[in-house]
Structure 1
Amino acid sequence: MDQRKRDSIVAYLRRRMAEVGIDLDDVAAAIAQDENAARYRSATGETWSGNGEMPQWLKQAISAGQSPEHFAVDRTASQLDAATRRKTDWRQDPFAGTRLATVHPSYAHAR
Structure 2
Amino acid sequence: MDERKRESIVAYLRRRMVEFGINPEDVATSIAADQERLRAVRFRDASGNTWDGKGAPPQWVVQATSAGQSLEHFAIDGASNRDAGKRTGADWRNDPFAGTRLATARTEGV
TM-score, length of structure 1 as denominator length: 0.43
More helix by share: 1
Which has the bigger relative contact order, CA under 8 A and spacing at least 6? 2
TM-score, length of structure 2 as denominator length: 0.44
